[in-house]
């Protein structure tokens, strides 16, 4: 009985943390995703080099956190602090010539840690970048040829929004685990 409860508790903890992690990048483009579009014929997958230039050494600002894609060792780190709880992650980011940006990291929350891989598909045509989360996402315009204020790409900034907050969350969650 004790083992079963522990297994159920771990499954619930993992589900909660996973929901936090997967919600991070979709929450900020929820408005854009609500106006789902069809990717036009002729749009091609972005190359690894194009994706690298778009994301390297940038922080991706989310409504309740941020992720950072560092050039050095392609490190990815992130934090989330919202109604779903607090979580932080460290891992790697990768890009492919098939238009994928993948964030592969271990997420940590008060209820445990778990590995998660989240990928985003990118297509481009005439300077317009289209994006969707690989599994279950909806296509939307990530960036127009002339960047618009509402473009999700405006949330990619060179400032490091992660390192300082990440250390605070690590400490906070470590203290909670020992209480």
* Burial class (CB within 10 angstroms; exposed 0-12, middle 13-18, buried 19+) of 6: exposed
Asked if 87 and 52 touch (Cβ cutoff 8 Å), the reply is no
pLDDT band with cut points at 50, 70 and 90 for residue 143: very high
What's the pTM? 0.81
* Interatomic CA distance for residues 114 and 134, integer angstroms: 19
Q: What's the pLDDT tens digit per position in 70-99?
A: 999 999 999 999 988 899 999 999 999 999
């Amino acid at each position: 009985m004790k083992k079963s409860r522990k297994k159920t508790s771990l499954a619930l903890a993992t589900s909660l943390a996973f929901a936090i992690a997967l919600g991070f990048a979709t929450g900020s483009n929820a408005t854009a995703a609500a106006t789902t579009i069809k990717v036009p014929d002729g749009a091609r997958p972005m190359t690894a080099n194009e994706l690298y230039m778009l994301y390297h050494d940038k922080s991706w600002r989310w409504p309740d956190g941020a992720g950072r894609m560092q050039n050095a060792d392609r490190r990815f780190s992130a934090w989330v602090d919202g109604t779903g709880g607090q979580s932080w992650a460290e891992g790697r980011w990768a890009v492919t010539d098939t238009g994928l940006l993948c964030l592969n990291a271990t997420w940590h929350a008060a209820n445990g840690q778990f590995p998660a891989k989240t990928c985003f598909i990118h297509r481009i045509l005439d300077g317009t970048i289209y994006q969707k989360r690989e599994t279950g996402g909806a296509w939307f315009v990530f960036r127009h040829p002339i960047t618009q204020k509402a473009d999700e790409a405006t949330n990619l900034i060179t400032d490091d929004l992660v390192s300082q907050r990440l250390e605070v969350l690590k400490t906070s969650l470590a203290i909670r685990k020992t209480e």
